[in-house]
Homo-oligomer: A and B are copies of this chain.
Amino acid sequence: TEVVEAVGNEELVLASWQDGAKDKIINWVDATTTEGSPDFIPVADRIAVFDNDGTLWSEQPMYFQLAFAIDEVKRMAPEHPEWKNNASIAALLNGDMQGFLSGGEKALLQTVAITHTGMSTQEFDSHVKNWIKTATHPKTGKHYNEMIFQPMLELLDFLRANEFKTFIVSGGGIDFMRAWAEEAYGIPPYQVVGSMMGLTYVDSTASPELRKTPELFFNDDKAGKPVGIARAIGKRPVFAAGNSDGDYQMLQYTSTGDGARFGMYIHHTDSVREVAYDRESHIGQLNKGLDDAAKYNWMIVDMAKDWKVIYPYEMK
């Protein structure tokens, strides 16, 4: 097809996707980018949005941003002897994850606050960059940014080669993702939409900076995703990919627009090469999305069956 030719070598297009799923994607891109096609979408409207955790990279056994926060608590603890007086943080520092998690949402939010705020955006950015260079995943032993999904990288490339703009729209923290997303996915900071804490401009010194403050400014999840899209992108997407019920409204908003649309759910079905989970999972629960996939014509990607490889390092 034309779109495949546009990318160059046909064998390289979506190379890690099995034929059935691959054909669906290629046919849709072909239909929407061929002039004169009834489904043609002008270049200016080719907006594609991607959830991040569980859609572009793994998210088990815990969101990688939470792993970062926990590692940061440990790294910063020597400068903060007062943290020993906080039961949840003290449990964390003693390696007692049960004790930490028993602190519930309050403990989690505290952990995020002390590791993500009270510093400049520039300092936070270098903390994340240092962590992603050094930390490794407990199961695979790989750096977290090596645990991105090879088939999704190919999908991002394929869409961009066909003049789609690719955006991340994630419940994760916007500054956390921006520190590594450009290198990992080729998605620049201004195409990353995410949850946001407070920010204050401080110009009391010769080098003004933005300080991160602990109040929640915007929660880019569930019904917040279409809101985040409207605020940051200002166009209704024509293509959306997610993996959980947190993406339901984003896919719904995308698929109910006029004209050709593509909604995709990544279904974590591969207990051998990754982790199998869906309706009952505490992380990345996918329940309502599975129920309503047919109604909205969403493609369910079966990771075990549709993906030849999961991670880029499997190809070496």
Contact = CB atoms under 8 A, between A and B. Distances in A.
Interface of A: 44, 47, 121, 165, 167, 174-175, 178, 182, 188-192, 196, 199-201, 203, 206-208, 210, 223-224, 226-227, 230-235, 249, 252-253, 256
Given A190-B165, A199-B227, A201-B223, A234 B178 contact: yes
A221 to B, nearest CB: 12
21 contacts: A121-B230, A167-B190, A174-B231, A175-B234, A190-B190, A190-B191, A190-B232, A190-B235, A192-B234, A199-B230, A200-B223, A201-B224, A201-B227, A203-B249, A206-B256, A207-B256, A208-B253, A208-B256, A210-B226, A210-B230, A232-B232
The 9 closest A-B pairs by CB, nearest first: A189-B234, A201-B223, A201-B226, A190-B233, A178-B234, A210-B230, A199-B227, A189-B235, A207-B256
Given A234-B174, A252-B208, A256-B208, A200 B188 contact: no
A102 B179 CA distance: 49
A47 B182 CA distance: 15
A295 to B, nearest CB: 11
A127 to B, nearest CB: 16
A299 to B, nearest CB: 20
A249 B200 CA distance: 12
A175 B235 CA distance: 10
Contacts of A178: 234
A203 B182 CA distance: 33
Given A165-B190, A210-B227, A210-B230, 10 more contacts: A44-B182, A47-B190, A189-B235, A190-B233, A199-B231, A201-B223, A206-B256, A207-B256, A208-B253, A232-B232
Nearest to A182: B44
Contacts of A226: 201, 208, 210
A227 B178 CA distance: 16
Contacts of A210: 226-227, 230
Contacts of A199: 227, 230-231
A163 to B, nearest CB: 13
Contacts of A188: 44, 234-235
B234 A203 contact: no
A196 B217 CA distance: 13
A189 B199 CA distance: 23
